Amino acid sequence: MLAVFAKAIAKPPEELSFPILGSNNSKTPKEILNKFQSLWPNDSAIYNLPHGNFMALSHHDESPIHPRSIVVLDDIFCIFVGSLENTAELRHYYGLPRQATEAMIVVEAYKVLRDRAPYPPDQVVKELHGKFAFIIFDVKTHTLFLARDREGSVEFQWGVAYDGSLVCGDDPKIIREGCGKSCAPFPPGCIFINGSGLASFDHPLNKVKAIVQEDDGGNIMSVYFQVDLFTRIPSIPRTGSAANWAGPAEVKGEQMFDI
């Protein structure tokens, strides 16, 4: 999978651009897309979005235990890689039919966050048990939502293109060629929402900070992100629905368009 979103929409972390100092050899979004299409000309689907954004999917070299899929529901695009262990439970909780895929479940979870209640995003993603990474883009609200499972079981990288656009996907080679040094693994157990930034869904009150790696001359070579368990984020205590949210783990018992 591959997705590119303009800087004004995605608002990537500033730290991702730190290694751009000096020779970075990053590429434009169009060059990155052309590279993706040239690698798999007969096995790729491109979804052009407003403002030059796009999402792309290929099933080439797809792992049978980490399949890739895309759905488009109510102007919400979702690429999902991997699998969930509690799909039956989640289908029941969100009122979905048996044939609902993991990507459909994730879109429904996002719609709950957007429309139905003031649920904290970390609480919703925490209920997804499995090995996964996903990219959601809501065309109506211009909301970008990224997530990766706790163990980092599925390859997921992100970086910054030549024009400052955010690039993310599950092919490290494409991300490195497109972003040069301005790329890093997406941190396991984390979510990113444009407008609110990067957060851990297991430690939502702890800061996810960038760790800069320098050479002997003090030049920034790379950046990676990890949860800082010693730094707390000031916050207002959750009350009402947000504090008492009953997720799928507490539920007793058990037309969408799939592209």
Tell me the pTM: 0.86
d(CA 47, CA 37): 12
Report the alpha-carbon distance of residue 121 to residue 44 in Å, rounded. Answer: 31
Instruction: Tell whether 158 is covered by a domain.
Output: yes
Decide if 7 is inside a domain: yes
Residue 29 in any domain: the answer is yes
Residue numbers of the domain that contains 89: 2-250
> What's the 3-state SS for 54-106?
EEEECCCCCECCECEEEEEECCEEEEEEEEECCHHHHHHHHCCCCCCCHHHHH
Chain centroid, CA 197 distance in Å: 12
pLDDT at 18: 77
pLDDT in tens, the chain (259 residues): 999 999 999 999 988 887 654 446 889 999 999 999 998 888 889 999 988 899 999 998 888 888 999 999 999 999 999 999 999 999 999 999 999 999 999 999 999 888 876 678 888 899 999 999 999 999 999 999 999 999 999 999 999 999 999 999 999 999 999 998 899 999 999 999 998 899 999 999 999 988 887 777 766 777 889 888 887 877 645 444 444 445 665 544 333 333 3
Run of H or E including 178: helix 172-179
Q: How far is the C-alpha of 54 from the C-alpha of 2, rounded, in Å?
A: 8
Residue 135: burial class (beta carbons within 10 Å; 0-12, 13-18, 19+): buried
In a domain, residue 71? The reply is: yes
Position 259 in a domain: no
Q: How far is CA 69 from CA 19, 36, 55, 155, in A?
A: 32, 17, 12, 15
d(CA 159, CA 178): 8
**CA distance linking residue 258 with residue 73, whole number of Å:** 8
- Residue 132 falls within a domain, yes or no? yes
CATH of the domain at 89: 3.60.20.10
Please state the domain count of the chain: 1
Q: Which residues, other chains included, contact 62 with Cβ-Cβ below 8 Å and sequence gap of 6+?
A: 68
In a domain, 255, yes or no: no
pLDDT at position 117, please?
Answer: 63
Q: Name, in order, each residue with C-beta under 8 angstroms of 244's C-beta and a sequence gap of 6 or more.
A: none
Q: Contact 130/136 with Cβ under 8 angstroms?
A: no
In a domain, residue 65? The reply is: yes
